[in-house]
Amino acid sequence: MSIEITAIDWVDNGVTLLDQTLLPLEEVNLRITTVTQMIDAIQRLAVRGAPALGVAGAYGVVIAMDEGAREDWTSSKLETVVDSLRDARPTAVNLAWAVNQVREIIPQGREAVLAAALEIAAADKKSGTDMGNVGADWLIAKLGNKKLNLLTHCNTGSLATTGTGTALGVIKELHARGNVNEVFADETRPLLQGSRLTAWELAKCQIPYRIQPDGAAAMAILSGKVDAALIGADRIAVNGDTANKIGSLGVALACHVAGIPFLVVAPESTIDRSMNDGSQIHIEIRGDDEVTHVGGRQVAPHGAKTFNPAFDVTPSKFVSVVITELRAYDIAGGETL
């Protein structure tokens, strides 16, 4: 069943974002017409997920040009503002990648930059459909044409992209082919992208699911409840080391021990070909409040220190395959990207 969820769109010379901080209880669109608003939306995760961040960055450059024209910015002020947009979050390569792609075109004028940004959004949408097919074909070839129990972590669907998604897009395609029994969605502490966003998408698509605390993932996997796990990625190094939402590494380790496939699903634009391995990936560390408070209420002692990395890096030796819109890379077989 295909459903329309639009996380980010270019409308009437500005960006419309579905505010993901309010889902699933409220569906509110945000109107973004300044770079400050866009950076704020990115940093508080109103828009999130690597491919959607890329699209937000590309549209953000057009917004910067329009704002600069209104406010009479110098070209060096425009460059500084575009740098801040590029650096709004550090781990997902798609943000810097997309901003760098379109800023090259600034000398050609605003319409050319907008056309390039719209092209990035359209390509992302198409890549989701293609990844869905590559990933579904790979899993069915690997595990047989049967109903599967699948585990996923974080949100990698329409809310994280302009199309069907990456890992969740594969799950949707498998469901369309009649190959999904049930999805185990990790709740994804601390910001609950799994229970708030993935569950919302799965429910809309009428895909059977259950939410589990992140700590239940290893037990679900080792007790044979899960046939395969699928995650997205924020940055993939050439050797297949993969940065993704914190908790992905634990899922990968459990899959490795259980001997079940662990799939990384991401567009080619998420591969950072300047990095040979994941050791140089900049991991975003987020604030204490995300850990010490739940739903705005304090649940830890005053002054408690935290360790709150937004992402972890799964070494390639625990990755079975990387699925992109082009093909399946056999990481377990020693292939690189």
Catalytic residue chosen out of the listed positions 234, 241, 272, 312:
234
The 8-class DSSP code of residue 271 comes to B
Enter the tokens of residue 119: 């092209």
Residues 6+ apart with CB under 8 A from 222: 254, 257, 258
**Cβ proximity to ligand MRU, 154 vs 252, nearer residue:** 154
Report in angstroms how near the CB of residue 135 gets to ligand MRU at its nearest: 12
Residues 6+ apart with CB under 8 A from 216: none
How would you class 32 by CB atoms within 10 Å of its CB: exposed for 0-12, middle for 13-18, buried for 19 or more? buried
Could you identify the residue written with the tokens 């379109």? 102
Q: Does 221 bind ligand MRU (CB under 6 A)?
A: no
Report in angstroms how near the CB of residue 45 gets to ligand MRU at its nearest: 6
Residues 6+ apart with CB under 8 A from 116: 58, 101, 102, 105
Cβ-closest position to ligand MRU:
232
The 8-class DSSP code of residue 323 comes to E
Report in angstroms how near the CB of residue 28 gets to ligand MRU at its nearest: 18
Helix (H, G, I), strand (E, B) or coil at 205: coil
Q: Does 154 bind ligand MRU (CB under 6 A)?
A: yes
Report in angstroms how near the CB of residue 234 gets to ligand MRU at its nearest: 5
With CB under 6 A as the contact rule, the residue among 244, 269, 292, 320 that binds ligand MRU is 244
**Cβ proximity to ligand MRU, 166 vs 324, nearer residue:** 166
Q: Does 156 bind ligand MRU (CB under 6 A)?
A: yes
Q: Does 324 bind ligand MRU (CB under 6 A)?
A: no
With CB under 6 A as the contact rule, the residue among 5, 7, 37, 51 that binds ligand MRU is 51
272 carries an active-site annotation: no
Enter the tokens of residue 111: 């319409």
Alpha helices for 72-182 (secondary structure H):
75-86, 93-103, 110-143, 167-176
| Binding flags for ligand MRU, 261-300, as an x/- string (CB under 6 A) | ----------------------------------------
Contact window for ligand MRU (CB under 6 A) among 104-112, 129-137, 173-181, 232-240? 232-240
Q: Does 233 bind ligand MRU (CB under 6 A)?
A: yes
Which residues, in sequence order, are bridge partners of residue 180? 148
Distance from C-alpha of 205 to C-alpha of 207, rounded to nearest angstrom: 5
Residues that bind ligand MRU (CB under 6 A): 45, 48-51, 92, 154, 156, 160-161, 165-166, 193, 232-234, 244-245, 310
Tell me which residues are annotated as active site.
234
